Amino acid sequence: MARTSRMPGFHKVTVQERRALVGEATGADVGEIGRALEQGGLDAESADKFVENVLGTYALPYGVALNVRVNGHDHVVPMVIEEPSVVAAASNAAKMVRAAGGFAAETDPALMIAQVQLREVRDAQAAARRIREHEQEIVELAERAIAGLVARGGGVRGVEARILADDMVVAHVVIDCRDAMGANLVNGVAEAVGDRVAAIADARLGLRILSNLSDKRCVRVRCRVPAEILATDEMGGSDVIDGMVAASRFAELDPYRAATHNKGIMNGIDAVVIATGNDWRAVEAGAHAYAARTGRYQPLAVWRRDGDAIEGRLEVPLALGTVGGTLRVHPAARLSLRMLGVNGARELAAIAASVGLASNLAAVRALASDGIQRGHMGLHARSVAVAAGALGEQVERVAAMIVEARDITLEGARSALSALAAEAGGTATAPDWHRQERDRAD
């Protein structure tokens, strides 16, 4: 059965019903979904094996982005995130992109860089030259440290030398990590070759560690959305395109804006990275270092008019794994990978980047038209209602009341809750437009 990521009305059904729908759409077992996600899927005893000084676990919401189609394949995409409206916005934007054919993504091989720092170098030019001359020897030494990876088709793809100062050179060993994120593999290589590289360079050995600027492991995603799909109630599609192009230019000219633009992209990427048990600190470090690679911090995604449509392009390094690491033994991470049905780390990276571009599309379109506060604060109102002590059906009613009153604060929610209690069963008739926002998402 071909997977579909279209599930109209998904947000309106119960959590149990959603699990059944996702099970049907992805082939994941409903019992397994329940077991993997109840209480966050990880007990304190297992958590104690992951990190140190454990007291317990800390759960986060686990949702799914709908409508995501990448390179012609549909995916129900797990997202772990605490921020309201990110999942709905990504699903809504993915629906627009899907209507126009979906995301087109291409992914580099899983090339990671092992760095060997060389200090007290006598002659930097000569040291760099000797490292290049000894490439074959270094490759053989490195591959002995990662025989399992080599047997799986991975291995060393090159050795480079960079002069950082008169007395400092760094050797890069470039390793194809296939379906692993690769940090441990790469660190193993750096340590295995360090002494020999230092001898070759006639230098003192310094640090031996991977680089998180994995710029040889990029994903490039494109999407195109016609003007009529972008139109809002108040604004024609062509005007939305003009606003989005100007928003992109703003981010391209101003690092203050680019940081926020990229944060919106990482909303989508991080949520998928966390849901699949990957190292989001590594991904964040790589993304922002890449954004600053020209010397000025730049947006990772840009938007351009293409006739009567807008085209978005995202380029970001993504060091993700579908094997290895610690978190992928987490039951929820394993469930996520099964639900996605990916063929390996490169396909996972293509999906995560597509959700990042979807998040950026949603944010830039909203900013260029109605502003984000309306949609975002509408969904945020539910968390505020819960924080004020609303329970069960009170949550939606209190949220609707504080949205209507334009007072989405804890105090506003507390007084709405008191008003409800005073009403004692009366009806609150505030418009539920944050529900409308979610309606548009699936």
Contact residues: ligand NAD, CB under 6 A = 148-149, 152, 154, 177-185, 187, 210, 212, 279, 282, 321, 323-326
Radius of gyration of the chain (CA): 25
**Pick from 414, 441, 409: nearest CA to 94:** 441
C-beta separation of 240 from 305 below 8 A: no
As a whole number of angstroms, the distance between CA 207 and CA 191 comes to: 9
Q: Minimal distance in Å, beta carbon 78 to ligand NAD?
A: 18
**Amino acid in position 209:** I
CB atoms within 10 A of CB 199: 12
**Amino acid in position 78:** P
Decide whether 187 or 383 has the Cβ nearer to ligand NAD.
187
Q: Which residue is nearest to ligand NAD (CB)?
A: 324
Q: Left if phi > 0, otherwise alpha if psi is -120 to 50, otherwise beta: which for 347?
A: alpha
As a whole number of angstroms, the distance between CA 77 and CA 173 comes to: 34
Decide whether 188 or 237 has the Cβ nearer to ligand NAD.
188
**Pick from 266, 256, 313: nearest CA to 288:** 266
Q: Left if phi > 0, otherwise alpha if psi is -120 to 50, otherwise beta: which for 155?
A: left
| Residue 359 in tokens | 């998040």
Decide whether 23 or 344 has the Cβ nearer to ligand NAD.
344
Decide whether 283 or 364 has the Cβ nearer to ligand NAD.
283
| Residue 365 in tokens | 């379109």
C-beta separation of 356 from 271 below 8 A: no
Q: Minimal distance in Å, beta carbon 179 to ligand NAD?
A: 4
Q: Minimal distance in Å, beta carbon 367 to ligand NAD?
A: 32
Q: Minimal distance in Å, beta carbon 281 to ligand NAD?
A: 7
Q: Minimal distance in Å, beta carbon 110 to ligand NAD?
A: 8
Known catalytic residues are 83, 263, 279, 376
Decide whether 184 or 415 has the Cβ nearer to ligand NAD.
184
